[in-house]
Amino acid sequence: MTTPLKAKHRDIWASGDYAAVAADVIPDLGSVLVQAAGVGPGQRVLDVAAGTGNAAIPAALAGASVTASDLTPELLAAGEKLAEARGAVLDWVAADAEDMPFGTGEFDVVLSCVGVMFAPFHQAAAGELVRVCRPGGTIALLNWTPAGFVGQLFAAMKPFAAPPPAGAQPPPLWGDEEHVRELLGDRVTGVSARTGSVRVERFAEPGDFRRYFRDNYGPTLAVYRSLAGDPDRTAALDAALDELAGRFRAADGSMRWEYLLLTATRSGGPATP
């Protein structure tokens, strides 16, 4: 059953053009996660909050049997076209990361690349990641850090956005190692975590970033739409995003967006089936 909150989230991610954002800004990020998870032929892999398949498609091309799940059918439809163009065969399933329609222990590897972090109730989503992974299987997550560029983007937008529902937690907390360790708890072992960054060269000037994200990135687009008719607050948001992009911009115009990459083994069994 779709709740008003889930419908709102689905509409946010269906707006704009996330397929373009993934392709233009972070095209290789999913492959980083797939490699870190050791995905290979014969494995049953679930990509949670897969979007347009940034990690799911490379996992399928690595020979795994892949299911890509996401709350937003429009993203799955776009991903299916991308997969076909790249010769990747996988299943696309509309699913809520906090209540997935998959069996307990169904997958050998459970992935999420800057996806599950946007499920508002972190503990519920973490519980589902663990539940659907078989004992001895791998959970691998790549999420934007709070102090990195995207974490600071959400901090910059917060004063202009509607307040979150009671009990919801900020997405960038999934980029904090201790937070994720607490979410997964003793249901996993062998946790390994490191920070990395993606080099973004798409935006020559701070204003280029602001305009691109205003038009294409669902969460930013939603905040701008909420300010329609209020030119002063719109101008203040413009200034905040320009300041942010300028702060993270190197002398050559590039940016570094930091992420946390965390892998763990599901407790309760050997590392191989």
Cα Rg of the chain (Å, integer): 18
Measured CA to CA, the distance from residue 48 to residue 129 in angstroms comes to 8
pLDDT score recorded for residue 162? 92
Between the two ends of the chain, the Cα-to-Cα distance in Å is 34
Measured CA to CA, the distance from residue 145 to residue 149 in angstroms comes to 8
Mean pLDDT of 70-83: 98
Confidence band for 78, pLDDT divided at 50, 70 and 90: very high
User: Closest by alpha carbon to 200, among 19, 40, 27?
Assistant: 27
The CA-CA-CA angle for residues 174, 179, 182, to 5°, reads 125
The CATH class of 4-199+256-266 is: alpha beta
Structure tokens at 28: 């290789």
pLDDT score recorded for residue 269? 59
pLDDT score recorded for residue 271? 42
pLDDT score recorded for residue 2? 75
pLDDT score recorded for residue 22? 97
Mean pLDDT of 59-80: 98
pTM greater than the 0.85 cutoff: yes
pLDDT tens profile 30-48? 999 999 999 999 999 999 9
pLDDT score recorded for residue 1? 57
User: Closest by alpha carbon to 227, among 217, 237, 218, 219?
Assistant: 237
Mean pLDDT of 200-223: 96
Structure tokens at 115: 């996806």
Structure tokens at 227: 């300010």
Measured CA to CA, the distance from residue 108 to residue 102 in angstroms comes to 13
Amino acid at site 7: A
**pLDDT of 273 strictly over 50:** no
Measured CA to CA, the distance from residue 224 to residue 218 in angstroms comes to 10
- Residue ranges of the domains in the chain? 4-199+256-266
Mean pLDDT of 114-122: 98
pLDDT score recorded for residue 272? 38
